[in-house]
Structure 1
Amino acid sequence: MSGELPPPAADPPGISVVVPVRGRVAELADLLESLAVAAARCPAPVEVVVVDDSCAEDAARHRANCERAGARYVTGPRHVGAKRNLGVALARHDLVLFTDSDCQLAPDVLQRHVSRLHSAPRHVAGVAGPTRVRDSDTAVFRVARRSPYLNTAFDRPIRYTRVTWATTSNLALRKSAFQQVGGFAEDTLTVVAGEDVDLGLRLSAAGYVIECDPKAEVIHHPGNSESLRAVCQRLYTYGRSGQWLSQVHPGRRRAKTNAVSAVGVAAAAGIAAARVTRGRSLLAAPLVAAALLARDAYRRYRPGDGPHPVRDAVACALLDWSNDAGKAVAAIQLGRPDYLFGEFEWVDEPTRRAATNADPSSPDGAADGQPR
């Protein structure tokens, strides 16, 4: 005997579904029901791992729902990436599917992911499927759907054959590849957002590929796109997470006019020069704001889309300034004033070249990419 330890046993074939949750009791219950249907059609073993940090009342309801559904329930940290890392550490199978607590799986999603990955070459680390947001008739939803920063990454698996990253609302990975690159970052600037982009970019840098399956669909609840507060919070969070990604992946940073930064600079300059100009310089900030608002509204204008296309375009532009505000705040937090007029490049050239059914009118570089 050589005295060497045998290699660790490989994880048995199957798929472990990892779901981070906080609150959303009814939504998670719906997800567990859809998972039961999908698991019944999957040829491989399936387990569900729910990682929760809800309040005591919601946690008790989650635990009871998981017991009824046969899912594993564990308490975990606040950070979503850390929750998912814990879920993977507990996972028993060789494949892991990441989805969100406010999603529901189509009946064939698990079957498609398992079949695709178990038959794919080893350099294929994962398969991404599209996420479709269920329609809502609220005014906020109607306005927010024009935003180039909300939900635009969800349909990338329909338009591309491969991506360098995918949202964790519908992403299946080989557990071994996930572990090789160290899992999700837990030191992001925000509790959620950006960690899925970072993971995908590290997998791609390690030589792995994420393929797309346009038919492996997940349905997303529209709740976080229905209220003004929720939409502004998401946009603000995405702006902050993008600046963190710019710092971690500096090669993907690009210059871009930031409306909030521009208005702030104009206001500061106007105040500084107010005495010399007898107050006329104070008009600089509102004039800059008006010009940028007109530009952004024009980019979001869609003739014939809804009863008030002009009003909705202006409202959407104002909503999207929450994203610019997040970028500006993050630039200050990170001590990077040069980030005040820059942003993360969400879609790279290799992904564009992998397009199969891309709409030629789609502004790929500017409007395709923010997570969740």
Structure 2
Amino acid sequence: MPEAPPQHGMSVVVPVKGRVSLMRAQLVSLRIAMDHSPEPSEVIVVDDSELSDAALHQANCHEFGARYVRGSRHVGAKRNLGVERAAYDLVLFTDSDCRVPPDLIARHISTLRGADASVGGVAGPTFVEQRQSPANRVMRWSKLINDDLERPQRCATVTWATTTNLAVRREVFMEVGGFPSESLDHVGGEDCDLGIKISDAGYKIVCDAGAVAVHDQDIVGSLSSAGRRLYGYGRSEQWVCSVHPHHRRPALNAFTVATAAAVAGTALAARTRGRSLLAVPAALGVLVAARAHRLRGDGDSWADGAVERLACASVDLMFDLGGFTAAVELRRPSMLFTGLQAADGD
């Protein structure tokens, strides 16, 4: 007997591990958004937390009317499981460390219902919550953290979008094969992979600048946590490039430059009495200064926030380190000189 087609409505899929208090805050915001939805809606939480946290997630899901599902460690597999269990024909992806406004579900439903079949998804911007902390003041300059999240505010369409705030047609999601269930790491790159597959299949991902989600500031809660996240971003970008090589572009990786400088410096060390070994810190210093210069806003002078921008550019190097180690791990030396094309559309 053929499976019944999904009903009209929106299923919200949220993967989680730990983060009990953040997930509860997200459930509160999603409950309000569901109450404002013009169509039936549901929230599906897919969890692989330790048993103590899992019990708390289950209790919170029961309190706010969400469905609780146990899933695997890989975040792509979690989201795929959520879509498999979804009752409705539209699916919204968001994260456990985000919060949504009351009109978000309604806006995404309106956009997708009003679009023709060529539109496979709609992306809204996500803004990192701003709090006064040293790490937040430094990392607010980071384009590597903020640009992908905020891109739907300034674009009409994108090739891919972050799954902090992305709604898709379920039939399109199933057609392109959903998220990868295996990748270089258990988190990272799956949103790029899905968007590229949707775009390559001939569908558009349109943007709604007014459909805004908020990301908890713990994404930049400390410089070390920001660095770890950027390292993961760098690794996942190279994995996406390995899966979708036609979306690669030339890129200058700071650690590729530093390695070349180290090889050259070592070869010349005897001739220069070791002074050539200074090429490595010199190269990194030049790259940090150049990146800090590019982090300026329109109309800013070099002196405006110079110390914070230099610190941010230094932390941003963790993205390059992640990309460098992934290229070595994947045994793809050509990827030491390439990165992923930006997702910007029109």
Verify same fold: TM over 0.5.
Answer: yes
RMSD: 1.8
Give the match's secondary structure for 1:126: strand
1:305-324 matches, cutoff 5 A? 309-324=305-320
**1:338 pairs with 2:328:** no
What secondary structure is seen at the aligned counterpart in 1 of 2:179? coil
Residue 141 (structure 1) aligns with? 136
Q: 2:72 aligns with which of 48, 65, 77?
A: 77
Identity %: 48
Q: Distance in 1 between matches of 2:269 and 2:192?
A: 44
Instruction: Give yes or no for the alignment of 1:191 onto 2:197.
Output: no
Secondary structure in 1 aligned to 2:289?
A: helix
Provide the rounded CA distance (Å) in 2 between the counterparts of 1:36 and 1:167: 22
The SS at the match of 1:13 is strand
Tell me the CA shift for residue 291 of structure 1: 2.0
Instruction: Return structure 1 stretches of 4+ with deviation > 3 angstroms.
Output: 301-305
TM-superposition CA deviations, 1:295-343 (whole Å, max 9, x none): 22222245769x9712111101110110010011011011011222221
Asked whether 1:115 is paired with 2:110, we answer yes
Helix, strand or coil for the counterpart of 2:257? helix
Partner residue, 1:9: 4
The residue number in structure 1 matching 2:88 is 93
* Residues 157-207 of structure 1: CA deviation (Å, up to 9, x unaligned): 221122121111111111111001000012221222211111111111111
In structure 2, which of residues 11, 17, 24 is the aligned counterpart of residue 22 of structure 1? 17
2:121 is paired with a residue whose SS is strand
Q: Find the counterpart in structure 2 of residue 358 from structure 1.
A: none
2:204 aligns with: 209
Residues 1:161 and 2:127 aligned together: no
For 2:304 and 2:151, locate their aligned partners in 1 and report how far apart those are by CA, in whole Å.
28
TM-score by length of 1: 0.88
In the aligned structure 2, how far is the partner of 1:290 from the partner of 1:19?
A: 41
Work out whether residues 160 and 343 of structure 2, in 8 Å CA contact, stay in contact via their aligned partners in 1.
no
**Match of residue 174, structure 2, among 172, 179, 183:** 179
Report the equivalent of 1:366: none
CA contact (8 A) 1:136 1:226 kept: no
State the alpha-carbon separation in 1 of the partners of residues 83 and 95 from structure 2. Answer: 14
Distance, in Å, in 1 between the alignment partners of 2:281 and 2:38 is 61
Which whole-Å CA distance do the structure 1 matches of 2:167 and 2:284 have between them? 43
Give the unaligned 5+ runs of structure 1.
Answer: 355-372
Number of the residue aligned with 1:260: 255
Contact kept? 1:237, 1:326, Cα under 8 Å: yes
Q: TM-score normalised to the size of structure 2?
A: 0.95
| Pair 59,139 (structure 1): closer, same or farther in 2 beyond 3 Å | same
Larger displacement relative to structure 2 (7-16 or 165-174): 7-16
Which SS does the other structure have where 1:132 is aligned? strand
Code of the aligned partner of 1:315: A
In the alignment, the residues of structure 2 paired with residue 290 and residue 221 of structure 1 have an alpha-carbon distance, to the nearest angstrom, of 32
Number of equivalences: 345
